[in-house]
Structure 1
Amino acid sequence: MRYIKHENSQLTFAEIEKPNIKHDEVLIKVAAIGVNRADCLQRQDKYPPPKGDSEILGLECAGTVVAQGENVEVDWLNKPVFTLCAGGAYSEYVTVDAAQVMPLADSMSMTEGAAVSEVYLTAFSALFQFGKLEAGQTALIHAGASGVGGAAIQMAKAIGAQVVITAGSDEKCAHAKKLGADHCINYKTTDFVEYMKTHQLQANTIVDPVAGHYLNKNAAVAAMDCQIVMLAFLDARFAEVDFARLLSKRISFHASTLRNRSIAFKRELKAQFIARFYGELAAGKFDFNIYKTLHWQDATEAHRILDNNENSGKVVLLVE
């Protein structure tokens, strides 16, 4: 099969043997691939895959099941699906743990399906598993125009929460507003702490891929018993922390990644997401938040877009 190889930070086509499925896996003929910042970091040799996972890029895809292992209980053969992948999605075929696969609704295209798994499951985990967000509360979502941000906005609004986001331009703020955000703050022109204090806003749940100096700023706008969920550290790896403020507000801090979670964790996460939001997804109530669709021959351009932080939403590659 053909796949996209990464070497010396460059992307090129190469050929490799089609992967063999295990007893509890399915083999998917890939139709579309969701591009993620983790792919860009792995291309740069800054984010190696967990031991045992595929060295090929790609953490999510949509496609058609063409084979399945003998222990797979659901008949997935010839069914359109979308799913997380333990790497390997930048290829014509990929093997996936069958219990993580989700059915592609008739209303969804392969392109749309490829834009769901990584961002929606990451956002779901941050908001509800760790963030404990409830109706009537306030969520502060940094990088609100990103793929994860867009998914988080829509799920938070779907349960009746108020949403405050930060983004790096007026255009990105407008994009987040269209997705349902109640308050959109351009952090390059407005300090989000001052904005939230002026508007008497306090966050019960904070989703933060920035970290660094944002930790103390987050604490400044946190409500009592706030849950701060850190997904990355785009600002800095280290920071000084005002522990007195964390203690006075009983703030809980969670550092969370999805890629190196156990299969059991990912299976349960998928099951919870399906139970709570698949109906809205299949009914077209969520915007799939696709910024651009490219052919997989243009994977380098897709990575350039993410490297330069140009996108509002997801970039998807079509496999041909």
Structure 2
Amino acid sequence: MATLPTEMTAIDMEGPGEPDVLVTVTRPVPEPVAGEVLVKVAAAGVNRPDIVQRKGFYPPPPGAPSIPGLEIAGEVVALGEGVNAELMGQEVCALVAGGGYAEYCTAPVVQCLPVPEGLSLQEAAALPETIFTVWHNLFERAYAREGETVLVHGGTSGIGSMAIMLGKLFGLTVIVTCGSDDKCAAAVEIGAAHAINYKSQDFVEEVKRLTDGNGVEIVIDMVAGDYVARNLQCLKEDGRHVTIAVQGGLEATINMAQVMSRRLMLTGSTLRARSVEFKGLLADEIERTAWPFVADGKLRPVMDRSFPMADAAGAHRHMEAGAHIGKIILEV
């Protein structure tokens, strides 16, 4: 086995701020502890939480590196204590609590998924954050069942596109909102049943029209703020509202009598701070239920653009500009 270097190139932040605070640094190569693997990173996904962290509003959980990056793909090059020796040299993708924007990154072995034949490492790096988030929130927290209809905001984002594809594979009708007619067309091409341009249409009225006045069973909400009250108007009785981001504001004013009389359920989650044990159980469920679709080519991430790791600032600017469709990747 080749000797590993002691130092690596990574991207870290000089402090909170605009994309230019992301700078190239030299850091020690991390060592995997018990239950972890060390991955030589080929590609890392860029996600909205990375931007929130860069701005100073989403600090890494205790023990996680300051280096951003929540999903990686690459080759296993070292094993922590207790890890199956057969994993050495295998290609994996993994959900991590941080450290992805680097040449090497440790990952709990239970949070790793195998990279099937025919899936590039760039595509593999685009999967963990979105598939873990969508699976947990749509199927575990919202109890989505075949035949139900779901409204997803941000239909062409990484999360939105994954929700469309996973929903369709599991028999859901997915309605999305997007910010332009081009994005609406792209969402329908990805597999959405309907796409609403929220800038030119009232999504509450459109949802009522599209569902013959019945509403949807589930809303997956990334906006929060004043969207919450409008989302509740889109739900049918016994509907479930799941908040996964607060891009539109932290606070909402809602009619609790409506929640009671229509038996609505409001929930939400963040994944990053959850325990390794929880994420391991989630990874196991995904590997059994959703990963076969990845393995046979039926589920592929929608890819927007790749940037070299050294241009992480450019990748962040591209995401913040909002014109992307699908996933943005850093190639290491």
Measured against the shorter chain, the TM-score band is over 0.9
The answer on whether the counterparts of 1:179 and 1:287 sit within 8 Å (CA) in structure 2 is: no
Tell me what 1:254 maps to.
267
One of 153, 160, 181 as aligned partner of 1:142: 153
The yes-or-no answer on 1:6 pairing with 2:17 is no
One of 226, 242, 246 as aligned partner of 1:229: 242
One of 267, 270, 275 as aligned partner of 2:283: 270
Q: How does 1:232-243 map to 2 (within 5 A)?
A: 232-243=245-256
The answer on whether the counterparts of 1:145 and 1:175 sit within 8 Å (CA) in structure 2 is: yes
Give the SS at the match of 2:330: strand
Q: C-alpha distance in 2, partners of 1:40/1:197?
A: 34
Tell me what 1:47 maps to.
58
Tell me what 2:82 maps to.
71
Tell me what 1:213 maps to.
226
Which amino acid letter does the alignment assign opposite residue 308 of structure 1? A
Give the SS at the match of 1:302: helix
Between the aligned residues of both structures, percent identity stands at 38
Structure 2 gaps of 5+ residues are 1-7
- Give the structure-2-normalised TM-score: 0.94
Q: C-alpha distance in 1, partners of 2:170/2:22?
A: 41
Tell me what 2:136 maps to.
125
Q: C-alpha distance in 2, partners of 1:282/1:134?
A: 23
Tell me what 1:179 maps to.
190
The answer on whether the counterparts of 2:215 and 2:234 sit within 8 Å (CA) in structure 1 is: yes
Q: C-alpha distance in 1, partners of 2:139/2:321?
A: 30
Q: How many residues align?
A: 319
Q: C-alpha distance in 2, partners of 1:128/1:172?
A: 25
Which amino acid letter does the alignment assign opposite residue 193 of structure 1? V
Structure 1 gaps of 5+ residues are none
Which amino acid letter does the alignment assign opposite residue 6 of structure 1? M
Structure 1 residue 143 displacement after superposition:
0.8
Going from structure 1 to structure 2, the CA distance change for 1:242 and 1:74 (only over 3 Å counts) comes to farther
CA RMSD of aligned residues (A): 1.1
The answer on whether the counterparts of 1:226 and 1:252 sit within 8 Å (CA) in structure 2 is: yes
Q: C-alpha distance in 2, partners of 1:213/1:227?
A: 17
Tell me what 2:207 maps to.
196
Q: Deviations over 1:115-171 (max 9, x none)?
A: 000011101111101011111110111111110011011111111111110111111
Q: Deviations over 1:292-313 (max 9, x none)?
A: 0111122111000112222111
Give the SS at the match of 2:87: coil
The yes-or-no answer on 1:27 pairing with 2:38 is yes
Q: How does 1:286-301 map to 2 (within 5 A)?
A: 286-301=299-314
The answer on whether the counterparts of 2:126 and 2:327 sit within 8 Å (CA) in structure 1 is: yes
Q: C-alpha distance in 2, partners of 1:218/1:46?
A: 25
Structure 1 residue 73 displacement after superposition:
3.2
Give the SS at the match of 1:65: strand
Structure 1 residue 39 displacement after superposition:
0.8
Tell me what 1:104 maps to.
115
Q: Deviations over 1:215-274 (max 9, x none)?
A: 111111101211111011111211211111111211111121111111111011111111
Q: C-alpha distance in 1, partners of 2:170/2:152?
A: 15
Which amino acid letter does the alignment assign opposite residue 129 of structure 1? E
Give the SS at the match of 1:171: helix
The answer on whether the counterparts of 2:79 and 2:85 sit within 8 Å (CA) in structure 1 is: no
Give the SS at the match of 1:16: strand
Q: C-alpha distance in 2, partners of 1:309/1:93?
A: 29
Q: Deviations over 1:57-113 (max 9, x none)?
A: 110000000010121136210001101012001111111101111110111001000
